[in-house]
Chains A and B, each alone.
Chain A
Amino acid sequence: MVQLMRRRRAEGTESAQVEETASESKTRLIDAIPIPMGDPLEALLLSNGGPVVLRDLEFESAALDGLRQSGVELVVPLIGQGELLGALYLGPRLSDQPYSTDDRRLLGSLASQVAPAMKVAQLVREQQAEAKERERIQQELQVAALIQQTLLPKELPAITGWQVDAFYRPARAVGGDFYDFIDLEDGRLGVVIGDVTDKGVPAALVMATCRSMLRAAAQRHSAPSAVLAEVNDSLVPEIPPAMFVTCLYAIIDTGAGEIVFANAGHNLPYVRSNGGVIELRATGMPLGLMPGMSYEETSYGMGAGEVMVLTSDGITEAHSPEGEMYGFARLMGRVGKKTSEDDMLNEVVNDLEKFTGPDAEQEDDITLVVVKRTSSAQGAASTFLPLEGGVPLQDGGESEGPQVLARFSVPSEEGNERIAIAKVTAAIGSLALQPDRLERLKTAVGETVMNAIEHGNEFRSELDVEVEVCANDDTVSVLVTDQGGDKLIPEAAVPDIEAKLAGEQTPRGWGLFLIEQMVDEVKSTSNGGAHTVELVMNREGAL
């Protein structure tokens, strides 16, 4: 930053500076005329070295003309290390006496003392500016650290049957890591871990904003996915461009032992289960990038003795002195080991310190939250099941009297959208859509069928996703139907739907965003338990 500020004055930029002097009231101040690099006057002043009487000069020079017009009689160059640093312009003397040889010698001698002093002065000025900048950065870091410290939890939750631990150590430049514990009703505890891109005060401010939004949303919604979706929508207009927040939000039902979480692009949690170490997955875009995102939800039933570890990437991306990265594999391996002390938090931190070596400067904030179920009435076996809210319904239009090209169904299993894409492609092969339109329709079909499998039918393989392909002269339509129609609409989605959709369809999910962009029209209809999304593509410009 210091470098940048110093270099801001472009080389060769000429600028006139008029010096005010109050010492001589009869002296008239005139605008200082620059002597551009390469002007013949510059060469003359450099070769001459001392003051020059303009009257004696005979060559073409814009600077010379200007000086003459301003009534300058004598130019005293300021030369330092062979460069023209500046010049003093004098008009005729008030006494009308010419400048004598002695006068010119004195002026030249003065200038030769000023030039090196200017260099020194400039260095001092630069050093002062740098010191000021260092102080500013230091202050900024203190402010950032203060914001972090003020907002991070001061106490750990104390819950019978559970042990919750947290570790936070900021890097010198204070990154954007944060964590939080939120008290919820009915013996539930909200656990947040997150990381704002960027460092310093900007990151700390976004962290503070995000933390308040999470706290507010956590009281309004019972589903972690709804909390993240709301915070994402609130954060998008607030966050500076190119900044975003990765965040994982988990709700622990401390009675039943179930942990439900949603994840906005943060490191995945590891669980040291009684059957080995598990990575729990839930997908979702980081917060603040784009509105209308949906977040997958995953739940895990914690048995007694099982430990969940949430981390920030300051751990996985720490380097050894040899440049090797700590990495997910090593972290997962470490989490999977059970020692006699069974002190997960310190064991991970110690292992990391051993890896990076004692002299390493910490590259990024390091945050670790460890949740252990110490005892349970049920001693339940571990389960791992993804959950998702349903796709809400709206009444929409109907397409009229088209010719049906294909009708088929696929079971609600992950990956089956590929089958649907292939069958739709085959069915519309004869329509000769333009290749780019065909590609867009294929992507839209994939996303829509995926939504139907995941959100509508909740991966229940006994339920089918039905697909119908039809066309009329102007359009081709693909109708995708799932059985998620009469499912309860998640609370988070209600106001959004009312406000945004005017009865067409819901903007849930990244997938839906893509779908809308890919095709010319998207309609959403419901009929009892069935929910149908219709993708309409104009056949304009067909081959």
Chain B
Amino acid sequence: MDGFSGSLRQGLDPNTLVGGWVGVVSETMQPSSVSVWIRNDFGTLEG
């Protein structure tokens, strides 16, 4: 959680950011399934 907050402040690349978000949520909430959708014209998730 601390690591993730740190990365939020530093402004990492979108992939890392979303990955971190999903990771933190998975850890804290323990959901049976998780997925994330990012609108394509916003996210720069390619590459």
Which residues of A are in contact with B by a Cβ distance under 8 Å?
Answer: 9-21, 23-24, 26-35, 70-74, 76, 78, 80, 83-95, 99, 103, 106-107, 110-111, 113-114, 117-118, 120-122, 124-126
A87 pairs with B29, CB closer than 8 A: no
**9 pairs of residues in contact across A and B, judged by CB atoms under 8 Å:** A19-B35, A23-B23, A29-B35, A34-B37, A73-B31, A88-B36, A93-B32, A114-B18, A121-B14
**How big is chain B's contact interface, by range?**
35 or more
- How many angstroms between the C-alpha atoms of A19 and B14 in the bound complex? 11
Decide: B40 and A13 in contact? CB cutoff 8 A. Answer: yes
State the CA gap A33–B38 with chains docked (Å).
Answer: 10
B37 pairs with A10, CB closer than 8 A: no
B45 in contact with A121 (CB, 8 Å): no
Q: Which residue of B lies closest to A80 (CB)?
A: B42
Instruction: Give the Cβ gap from B2 to chain A, nearest Cβ, in Å.
Output: 13
A120 and B11 contacting across the interface, CB-CB below 8 Å = yes
A121: B residues at CB distance < 8 A: 11-14, 17, 44
In-complex Cβ contact of A114 among B17, B27, B37, B42 (8 A): B17
Taking the closest CB of chain A, its distance from the CB of B27, in whole angstroms, is 6
Whether the Cβ atoms of B42 and A27 lie closer than 8 Å is no
Are A21 and B32 CB-contacts (below 8 A) given A85-B43, A118-B43, A125-B44? no
A21 in contact with B37 (CB, 8 Å): no
Q: Is the CB of A88 within 8 A of B22?
A: yes
Residues of A near B28 (CB, < 8 A) are 106
Whether the pair B11, A90 counts as a contact (CB closer than 8 A) is no
Q: Are A89 and B36 in contact (CB under 8 A)?
A: yes
Contact B32 A86 (CB under 8 A): no
- Cβ of B33 and Cβ of A21 under 8 Å apart? no
The answer to whether residues A103 and B40 also contact, given A19-B35, A27-B34, A31-B35 and a CB cut-off of 8 A, is no
Using A88-B36, A92-B31 as known contacts, say yes or no to A21 and B8 having CB atoms under 8 A apart.
Answer: no
Nearest first, the 5 closest Cβ-Cβ pairs linking A and B are A91-B33, A15-B40, A86-B38, A32-B37, A120-B11
- Checking B13, B19, B41 against A124 with a beta-carbon cut-off of 8 angstroms, the contacting residue is B13
CA distance A14 to B43 in the complex (A): 11
